[in-house]
Structure 1
Amino acid sequence: MAGTRRVANDPLRKERILDAARDVIAERGVHATTHRRIAEAADVPLGSLTYHFEGLEAILEQTFARLSESMSVRYRAAMEAASDRREACAAVTDLICGPEYATPREVVLLFEMYAYANHNAAVAETARQWMFRSRENLAAHFPERTRLALDALVEGWTMHQAFERAPLERDMVMATVTAIAEHVS
């Protein structure tokens, strides 16, 4: 029941609120995310939100920061596992074609983050830093201009795939990634 206290001293309440905010954003969009909906989804009293956060904007900012960080960890792990450029091309292909980079739900959250970044400087900076981290993760295997092209390809193809709602042809993606890696420097 919303508004009931779960534990007298609830050290994970803030994280639960952020998890609930992520769920509300994914299901309803930023435009329909409210304190009340987040509190209900987190099963915490409404006052807990204002206790832990300065306002709804702060909740959204921290939710998107957590999203970008968790996705960056997976991106980095995929690139660190590659021992050479060929394996790095395959890893980038996997990021584009599979759930390694973003689940369908996370793609929805990314769309919401990008849209909200147009109206919130902190979220815009989160998106910008995430872009830099993504390129940095490619640095072990690719020169700077190649990193720029590949990162744009990862983002763009992920968006296209979400709207087309059809799996990508892995062979075509791999050929494209390899061509960029070989010809853009």
Structure 2
Amino acid sequence: MTVAGNRDPEARSRRHDPGRRDRLIDVALGVLAEHGVAGTTHRRVAAAADVPLGSMTYHFGSMDDLLHAAFTRLAERTADAFDQALTEAGTAQAAGDAVVGLIAGPTLNDPETMLASLELYALAARRPEFRAITDAWMARSREALHRHFDPETALMLDALIEGTTLHRALSLDPMPVSTVRAAVERIVRP
């Protein structure tokens, strides 16, 4: 209990949380992966983030605002990983290896990332206002691929990455990495 005029330092530190909005976005991605768009609510995200429900409506005027922020974060993080992998590739061969690594590695196959991505794809398919997120994501992926490949090859690789990642994630018998490598090599072969 506090004396009148004195504030509880612990309560004050909870209110002063400059990173709260970012943390809520990150937590929302986990909630989206676990419960889907239909099961994601302000209340559920607030509980998962251990913040008052009012924080949600303070930072996000609507559920669409929260979904847009969370899915934009997902797309930016994934595009950043593409950028990094392809920037580090010094040759076209290394870039092909990086593409195989993106398809078969942890970046796109992390369960939370995969489930949240599937939720974004479904939402964007139903609600065109969310397609701007997927469109920007694909544009950044192709831009990263353009460092090493012509525009048509980059487009084919981008589609291969999306489709093959989904195929591997949803198949009971995922495509082996050797087949992924063969597909990439067929596309990038001079």
TM-aligned CA deviation for residue 105 of structure 1: 1.7
- The range that moved more, 95-104 or 50-59, is 95-104
Q: Report whether the alignment pairs 1:17 with 2:8.
A: no
Counterpart for residue 90 of structure 1: 97
| Greater shift in the superposed pair: 141-150 or 117-126 | 117-126
- The residue that corresponds to 1:147 in the other structure is 154
SS at match of 1:7: helix
Alpha carbons 2:153, 2:187 under 8 Å: kept: yes
Q: AA paired with 2:16?
A: N
Gaps of 5+ in 2: 1-10
RMSD, matched Cα: 1.7
Amino acid at match of 1:154: I
Indicate whether 1:169 and 2:172 are aligned: no
Alignment length (residue pairs): 180
2:86 corresponds to which letter in structure 1?
A: M
Q: Quick one: which of 59, 74, 77 aligns to 2:66?
A: 59
Say which structure is richer in helix.
Answer: 2
Q: Residue 138 of structure 1 corresponds to which residue in structure 2?
A: 145
* Match status 1:125 vs 2:132: yes
Distance 1:118 1:61 in 2: 14
- Distance in 2 between the 1:165 and 1:19 partners? 29
Residue aligning to 2:50: 43
Amino acid at match of 1:151: D
Runs of 4+ in 1 over 4 A off after TM superposition: none
Residue of structure 2 equivalent to 1:181: 188
Instruction: Output the CA distance in 2 between the equivalents of 1:12 and 1:182.
Output: 46
- Report if aligned partners of 1:84, 1:141 keep a CA contact under 8 Å in 2: yes
Larger Rg: 2
Measured after TM superposition, the shift of residue 5 of structure 1 is 8.0
In structure 1, runs of 5+ residues without a counterpart are: none
Contact between 1:138 and 1:147, CA under 8 Å: does it hold in 2?
yes
Check conservation: 2:30, 2:112, Cα contact below 8 A: no
Distance in 1, Cα, partners of 2:108 & 2:81: 7
Using the TM superposition, give the Cα deviation of residue 119 of structure 1 relative to its aligned residue in structure 2, in angstroms. Answer: 3.7
Please give the alpha-carbon distance, in whole angstroms, between the structure 2 residues aligned to 1:49 and 1:42. Answer: 10
Please give the alpha-carbon distance, in whole angstroms, between the structure 2 residues aligned to 1:112 and 1:8: 32
Q: CA–CA distance in 2 between the matches of 1:72 and 1:131?
A: 8
Give the aligned partner of residue 8 of structure 2.
Answer: none
**Structure 1 range deviating more: 67-76 or 101-110:** 101-110
